[in-house]
Each structure stands twice: as C-alpha cells, then as structure tokens.
Amino acid sequence: MGVQIDRMNDDLIAVPRGLTNVAVTETAISDVRGLEGYYQYREHSATELARTRTLEEVSHLFLYGALPDRDALARFTQDLTAAQRGDDLAAVIDAVASAGTDVLSGAKAAWPLLAGRRRMRPLYDLTRDQRRADALALVAVLPLILTSLWQRGHGAGAAEPLPERGVVANYLHQLTGRVPTAAEERALTAYLVAVIDHGLNASTFTARVIASTAADVASALAGALGALSGPLHGGAPSRVLDALDQLSSPADVEAWIRGELAAGRRLMGFGHAIYRTRDPRSELLKEIAIGLGGDRVDLALHLEEQAEQALARSKPGRALHANVEFYAAVVLERVGVPRDMFTPTFALARTIGWAAHVLEQADDPKIIRPSARYVGPALASPATAPATAPR
C-alpha cells in the first residue's frame, strides 16, 4: 500500500521516487506477490493458466472476467476472426508499411488509424459492451499488424492462414513460413499467457491514465505501447541471446561471467524489481525450454547455474535469479520467433492485459491527476505574486 513519508505545509504528500510500493488504484485483474514468488490472473494461478489454457481462453478471462465454456469460446473466436476482416485493416497496414517504420512504431500508428476508419469513439460515449467490442477488435488485429509489417520489412510474403489452428499457431506460421509443431505452439502459448499482465507496470499505468481521460481505446493502447518501447521497461530478451552467442560451449561460461562482472557489466536476464525470490515466469519457461531441448537450452541452463553462483558471491544478500527475459529468449528462439520480433511478441501478449485495464478504468469516472512538487527557483518579483497560487 502507499507509504506517507511526510506531509508538507502545502498539503502535498511526498512519496517514493517512481511511486515505488505506492498503490494508486484498485484492480480485480491480477495480483503480483514478489516476496512469495507468485502471481495470479483474477482467481486463477497465472502459471497454471499458462501450462493448461489457450491464448483465446485466457483472453476471454481478461476481457469478460471468466474462462469461457465451449459455446462462449466459439463465439469469442468468431468475434476475433470477424475483427480481422475488412479492407480498412489492409489499407492501414499498407499506409503504415509505406512509411518504412520498425514494427513497434508501425503498430503504434496502426491502432489509431484503424480506430479512425472504424469510427471508434471515446470511452465516455460508449456502453460497457461497446467498449469491450472496441478493445476486442484492437486486440484481434495486432497479430496481423505485427506479422504483416515484419514480412514487408524483410521482403517475405504472407503465408496462407491455417484456419483450423488458433492465433498462436498462425502467428508463428506467418513469421516462419512453416506450420508449427504442437510443441512449438504450446511453448509460445505458455510464454504469451505468462506475460499478459504483471501488476501496475509503466505501460499498464499509462493505459489506465489515458483511459481515465475517457479517450478512445486505441489511444490508450497506443500510449501503453509507447511506454513499452522504452528500453527501461519493455526489456530486450534478445540481449540474452547476444550473451549466449559469445559462448561456444559450457566450458566457456565461468570465464565469461568473471570477465563481465570484473568489467562492471550487468548479466542480462538476472534480477527483478519485484521478485525477491525466483521469478515464477522464469521457472515456467525453464520447464518449457527443457521440454524443447537442444544444445542452446543446455548452454542456457549451465549459464544460469554459474551466473547465480557468481552473483551470490559478488552481491551477497541480493536475490539475483534468472528473470523472465532469460528463458523467454531461449524459448522464443527455439520456436522460431526472429530476434527483432521478441519485443513485438511480448507486446502482443501484454495488449490483452492493457485492454482489460482500460475497460476496468473506464468504469471509474475519476480522472487520474496527481500533483508535482515545485523545486525550481523562487518567483523573481515576490511582490507581484498572487495572494493564493493557482492549483
């Protein structure tokens, strides 16, 4: 909960930098317990959902509040498919692709453009059902936007859809040009479900701030994606692979770690701002990676073991374990996701969480409007200052 550090004479409350450990809202969407190494989506264990459910089922949980039965899932899948149809989406992708932007920048532009074409209105003017319909449509089109922009940027043609397969299999199919195996689909599904939501992180908070103004759903999602694109937030699992690239065999690991620590460089993929024990997402993805197997996985396992031992010696008292990025990189590479699509793939999952937070925030009529404490120079001519400073 929020911690009041001091009350100043102008009635503003000083809080920790970055709002660390300050609860600024209430949510029924997810809960992260860093000391326990546990997190949940609504009333369900997030990691259990990642092991057992499809992306469509968990998306329904986020947008509708409950896991679907067979009929509800069929309707939901039909709604996702229907949202992906239309010349308007193709026109938006053409327009964004012609600008020659990277995939994430293109996605940030595509959502508002599509919202304009589909006449999506501000949240303030919509019923709950209409808000959800807009959110579902924007979630549904993102996989097509991401894969289309990546294909055009790499001179690759679109693959024929797999109508009998779901979102995850089709996403992989478009990126790799081959039909994914059941194991690859299951592995990517587990990753996507595991990272849909994770507390009030910077991008989720951004989505809620924008939604609190009653702007349209696309504006909130585009703003959240902008926050995610920042290197201090979205992370870069590909940097873990950059480290693995420098190691030809497990025999190289110990010397490499010593060199990195001696040079004062951070070991990518270790430590987390929330978890003071093992990251449950990393533990899940480690299981997935072991199931996929391969020399690269064996190398990652050895690197994790040696790195945690070295970090325990060099930074005693700090719980620096492998985080979600470490094994996410290994799993994404193993199933065929290109390195430059790691962060967009993360965004594909996190968009589902953002959409749920936008819908939840839209039910609260109070705009999010914190204050800032002025620490600049005093007014040059105090005699001209108003008796009461405007707030």
Reference 308, options 347, 350, 279, 288; nearest CA is: 279
Out of 325, 333, 357, 360, pick the active-site residue: 325
Q: Are 146 and 103 in contact (CB under 8 A)?
A: yes
Separation of first and last alpha carbons in the chain: 27
**What distance in Å separates the CA atoms of residue 30 and residue 153, rounded to the nearest whole number?**
36
Q: Is 272 a catalytic residue?
A: yes
Q: Is 185 a catalytic residue?
A: no
Backbone dihedral region of 187: left (phi > 0), alpha (psi from -120 to 50 degrees) or beta?
A: alpha
Question: Can you read off the two tokens belonging to residue 180?
Answer: 């994914």
Residues in the chain, how many?
391
Sheet architecture: strand order including 38-41: 30-33, 38-41, 44-45
Angle, alpha carbons 57-58-62 (nearest 5°): 120
DSSP string across 31-78? EEETTTTEEEETTEEHHHHHHH--HHHHHHHHHHSS---HHHHHHHHH
Tell me 9's DSSP state.
T
Q: Are 103 and 344 in contact (CB under 8 A)?
A: yes
CA 273 to chain centre: 15
**What distance in Å separates the CA atoms of residue 140 and residue 311, rounded to the nearest whole number?**
42
**What distance in Å separates the CA atoms of residue 129 and residue 384, rounded to the nearest whole number?**
53
- Specify burial of residue 9 (Cβ count, 10 A radius: 0-12, 13-18, 19+): exposed
- The β-bridge partners of 13 are 7
Out of 272, 304, 321, 333, pick the active-site residue: 272
Question: Can you read off the two tokens belonging to residue 323?
Answer: 């985080």
Question: Can you read off the two tokens belonging to residue 31?
Answer: 């809960």
Query: Which active-site residues does the annotation give?
Result: 272, 325
